[in-house]
């Protein structure tokens, strides 16, 4: 069956340009009613205008779709709540939230002002938090929801000059990890997109032949899959140039060094065994790690645990 979004209501933050615009257009094309949220500022997060979001709305309506523009500043919870309230008044539900809005204020850590660090974290991490919190109870009540965070290779793997951006982009993955667990019984799936595309954030950084391969329209289909009815949960999807990958956080099998009189030299002497990737696994939750370590230690020490292991 072909994936469609008929009758579903979607909020896309940062929906006026680049990836956000493509998310909006493609969702509308497949039947969704779209709230195009955009503050209308520049890449650094200054300035404001309602024209970019309205332009996307006009494009959707001209193609026969349904959409409304919204200029809420996602770092302002009152404005976010008003956006969600207006969405509910217009269409009565919120099925999908795509946390896409973001800004850049790149500098090496030594030269970065704390206000630039704070601003970027506020937009990317707290902006995603505010919007997610505003729709969470609605999705719980309707026992359906699809939430997409937007991360980046900068947060997952690191990139020079982007400590603020990287910290924020790693933060949304942590938020996804917890909310995917808490939302499961309410049929709320929470995923993360880690995209790379030729958008205004990369202006001047890509050669023309490279940029031609990296259109945002080649990323959006991955985002749409992650917010579809058949979406997985707790998944990080890498996307760019029509290519997709799944990014996972693994932990090595672990090695029991010793119990009593454990010292730093013992860790150093056993480092090769500790870091051996053979048998590494993906943890379902934080306590899975605790269970693994306790079980491993008890087995080595000959301790019988109450759970029988």
20, HSE (Cβ side, Cα atoms, 13 Å): 31
CB 15 within 8 A of CB 47: no
Tokens of 93: 């539900």
Side-chain half-sphere exposure of 51, counting CA atoms within 13 A: 5
The token pair at 77 is 């919870």
* Residues 117/164, Cβ–Cβ less than 8 Å: yes
Active site residues: 165
- Residue 156: which of 145, 168, 138 has the closest Cα? 168
How far does Cα 157 stand from its chain's mean position? 15
Q: Rounded distance, CA 119 to CA 113, Å?
A: 10
């Amino acid at each position: 069956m072909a994936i469609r979004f008929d009758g579903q209501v979607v909020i896309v933050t940062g929906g006026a340009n680049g990836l956000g615009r493509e998310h909006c257009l493609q969702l509308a094309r497949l039947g969704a009613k779209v709230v195009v949220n955009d503050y209308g500022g520049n890449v650094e997060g200054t300035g404001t205008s309602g024209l970019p979001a309205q332009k996307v709305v006009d494009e959707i309506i001209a193609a026969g779709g349904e959409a409304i523009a919204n200029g809420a500043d996602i770092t302002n919870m009152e404005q976010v709540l008003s956006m969600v309230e207006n969405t509910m008044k217009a269409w009565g539900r919120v099925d999908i939230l795509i946390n896409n809005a973001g800004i850049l204020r790149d500098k090496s850590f030594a030269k970065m002002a704390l206000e630039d660090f704070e601003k970027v974290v506020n937009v990317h991490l707290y902006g995603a938090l505010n919007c997610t919190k505003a729709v969470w109870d609605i999705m719980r009540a309707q026992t359906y929801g699809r939430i997409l965070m937007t991360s980046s290779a900068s947060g997952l793997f690191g990139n020079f000059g982007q400590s603020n951006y990287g910290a924020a982009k790693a933060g949304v993955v942590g938020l996804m990890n917890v909310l995917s667990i808490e939302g499961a019984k309410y049929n709320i799936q929470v995923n993360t997109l880690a995209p790379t595309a030729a958008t205004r954030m990369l202006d001047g950084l890509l050669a023309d032949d490279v940029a031609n391969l990296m259109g945002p329209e080649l990323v959006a289909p991955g985002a749409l899959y992650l917010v579809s009815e058949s979406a997985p949960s707790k998944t990080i999807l890498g996307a760019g140039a029509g290519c997709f990958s799944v990014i996972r956080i693994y932990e090595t099998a672990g090695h029991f060094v010793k119990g009593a009189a454990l010292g730093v030299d013992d860790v150093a002497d056993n480092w090769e065994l500790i870091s051996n990737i053979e048998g590494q696994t993906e943890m379902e939750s934080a306590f899975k790690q605790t269970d693994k370590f306790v079980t491993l230690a008890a087995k080595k020490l000959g301790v019988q645990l109450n759970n029988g292991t």
